Amino acid sequence: MGRLTTELCGITLDNPVIPASGTFGYGYEFAELYDINLLGTFSFKGTTLNPRFGNPTPRIAECPGGMLNAVGLQNPGVDNVIQEELPKLKQIFHKPVMANISGFSVDDYVETAARLDREEQVGWLEINISCPNVHGGGMSFGTDPQQAYEVIHAVRMNTHKPLIAKLSPNVTDIAMIARSCERAGADAISLINTILGMRIDLNRRKPILANQTGGLSGPAVFPVAVRMVYQTAKAVSVPVIGMGGITTAEDVIEMMMAGAVAVEVGAANLTDPYACKTIIEQLPEVMDRYQISSLRDIVGIAGKE
């Protein structure tokens, strides 16, 4: 295995860099700029059982150190993804892809996951119980250990592929939620999703976002993400995927030292479409600088006695 390779739920990745759901679409736009097969994999746009237009506009707001978004899971629905998006994706991406799944009830999650579980190109099911920008679902499942357990357990009973629980940082005890998901049958944990925030338009004297609140992402959340990945990796025995404000190869190494076996890059893709490519290309040089022969050697090293 190469020095950048890592393993995620029994599937080998050429490197640990994974564009996060909602920031990479289905890969087509990025494939016009570079060969996206150099990625470890990517998590495609969050998918729900039925099509969603998303939240009303405006749904993006800039802020120091990042951005707020309240897109609201805009997507064409699982049947369209299977019939239209995955066949096109197969032409440009020749690795297993991560399917990101959201819902508004346990049954929604189960049905959507079961349909994607049957798709050959889907390598992992990332169950998003952490979206802060929808009402009646998403984050409400991921902030209560029992509800998180019920969703993950129900999906586990109806699927076969590796199951990743994507967690919200908007909780008091992230380790408790992670352990609940592990007990329910999650094969891995990914975190963090965005932190709930708000901006106010001084002229209008009203919230900038039509949804009022949105999810904060970008470099500002990186220290929070590192802390929560560190706590989660020490609390569970399944692999952890770290995300939240990653923009550089140094960030990848720091997140892996905290306990992540792989990382997801989100907001950086929206400001620089070459962000993931650049990080991957710079990793060997940064590893040499810190005398790291293999990324596998540093996973969780910051938490070891």
The residues carrying an active-site annotation are 131
Q: Which CA distances in Å does 6 have to 142, 260, 297, 302? A: 27, 10, 10, 18
Structure tokens, 168: 């919200």
Residue with tokens 């990186």: 222
User: Is the distance from CB of 134 to CB of 73 less than 8 angstroms?
Assistant: yes
Phi, psi of 242 (to 5 degrees): -100, 140
Do the bridges between strand 240-243 and strand 262-265 make them parallel or antiparallel, or are there none, so unpaired? parallel
**Can you say how many angstroms the Cα of residue 280 is from the centroid of all Cα atoms in its chain?**
18
User: Is the distance from CB of 150 to CB of 106 less than 8 angstroms?
Assistant: yes
